[in-house]
A = this chain, B = another copy of it.
Amino acid sequence: MVGYAPGEQPQEGQFVKLNTNENPYPPSPRVAEAIQDAVERGLQLYPDALASEFRERAGDVLGVDPDWIMAGNGSDDILTIVTRALVGQGQQLRMPTPSYILYHTLAQIQGSEVDEVAFTPQWGLSPEFATPSGDPRLALLPNPNSPTGTVVSLPAILETAESLPCPLLVDEAYADFAEFHSVDLVAKSERIMVARTLSKSYGLAGLRFGYLIAQPQLIHEFRKVKDSYNCDALSVAAATAAIGDQAWLRDNVAKVRATRGRLSDSLKKLGFAVIPSQANFVWCRHAEQNSQQLYEELKSQRILVRYMKYPNWQDGLRISVGDDAQIDALLAALKSMV
């Protein structure tokens, strides 16, 4: 197998980094305080295996019982746990296409079969997605989707989940940037689970913290599969502080959305086709210019975006919504190229 190739993470030198959907704004100042406090409490003892402190705070914020929440070492850990628990060797993992590339790697590691169904031209789920001819054990739906930033509506998610023969995991890595989310659907259907991460909207990609919302009988089973102490004491403390500061989240999200609008409009003016995005990135493709070449030229100017090429679809650029200065630099560079 080939393995998943994450976006470039240059560890030195100054880049305008718009390739892996990090938040351009720092996390809440409460995060640094919480880490300091945790260090002072000491690191010798194992952390609370269930991250109860986080689950209680998150439960308050989301209006969900803490027993409906499981914490993970990033939402990648959550995706891995759920896949390992539900999809055996040779069994099917259902997903829409084009979508998050990591899902293929998860299936490969598990020895499972990728069972893909194309999105409709309007980026909805086709009726075929909900009525498989095979026997999938889990369906994954990133919402908003990557790389498109598009969303499937809540009624469509509920309808799909009720039709599918297996659970549906809605991967809401980018939901804080969207107009709605599907947390409330979890209580309506045992079939619906929601994965979240603090990497994007909370500005904590360096921390690795994600969580799952699912009915407690499912959480109970998933806990058996996770590493006993999958989240460390510092990340639990930091994540608890971060999710407790909703005002900070709202401010950052508002800034990102505003810049996203400006980025999309400017790209269109430069001759790009831009898919309307509800995430903190946009997918675009120039009418005349080669996407890979644009990526290379930008990189030579120390501006990193993500070039992606999907079989049976297209190639293009996925550009993270940075801060205004970063986006100005990008647009200036593109202007000289197209």
A residues within 8 Å of B by Cβ?
1-4, 6-7, 9, 11, 17, 20, 22-27, 31-32, 35-36, 38-39, 42-49, 52, 73-74, 76-77, 80, 84, 88-89, 102, 105, 109, 111, 199, 203-208, 223-225, 227-235, 238
Contacts and interface: CB of A to CB of B under 8 A. Distances in A.
B227 A80 contact: yes
Contacts of A203: 43-44
A102 B230 CA distance: 14
A137 to B, nearest CB: 13
Contacts of A39: 31-32, 35-36
Contacts of A109: 84, 224-225
A105 to B, nearest CB: 8
Centre residue among A20, A24, A43, A235 by max chain B CB count within 10 A? A43
B230 A73 contact: yes
A70 to B, nearest CB: 13
Contacts of A1: 224
A318 to B, nearest CB: 15
Contact of A229 (B6, B46, B47, B234): B6
Contacts of A105: 224
A234 B46 contact: no
B27 A43 contact: yes
Contacts of A88: 89, 111
